[in-house]
Amino acid sequence: MSIDIPAHAGRYSMDWTLPSDLKPGFLVPHELRTRWTLILGDARVKLIPLLEKWHKIDVFFHDSDHTYLHMMWGYTSAWPYLLESGLLISDDVGQNTAFYDFADAMQRPIVVHASNPNVGAITRGTNR
């Protein structure tokens, strides 16, 4: 499941536009499309009701507005809904300290992708 807004330059501080022949989710493989749902809208409006509906999630991947406040809001909103074995992943963790501050507050070790240090992850569960 994904929450996304169509990329149009000038909307929501975007400075680019998705090519007209591409739609949000264009990277989702055809064979997985029946298991994927796109919710069009602002995550600040759509995320909490979705989390309350699902109750528990396995993975939360943040690739939304990359301001400190929005990243921290996304992490703190999703965290209580992650299963004990759940994973919080974030893109653009180098844009500000939100990811590192959140991981520190949750006392969770950070894993950063070796070839792309802008992608980081933390687990919800205890260290093993």
Mean pLDDT of the 82-103 span: 95
Residues whose CB falls within 8 Å of the CB of residue 19, separated by 6 or more in sequence, listed in order:
none
Give the pair of three-digit tokens for residue 120.
Answer: 């980081």
pLDDT at residue number 125: 84
* Dist CA 108 CA 39 (whole Å): 30
Q: Regarding beta strands 120-123 and 82-90, do their DSSP bridges make them parallel or antiparallel, or are they unpaired?
A: antiparallel
Which domains are present in the chain? 1-41 (no CATH), 42-128 (3.40.50.150)
Looking at per-residue pLDDT, the higher value among 21 and 54 belongs to: 54
pLDDT at residue number 60: 94
21 touches 28 (CB < 8 A): no
SS3 83: strand
- Single pTM value for the model: 0.83
pLDDT at residue number 127: 55
pLDDT tens digit sequence for 48-91? 999 999 999 999 999 888 899 999 999 999 999 999 999 999 99
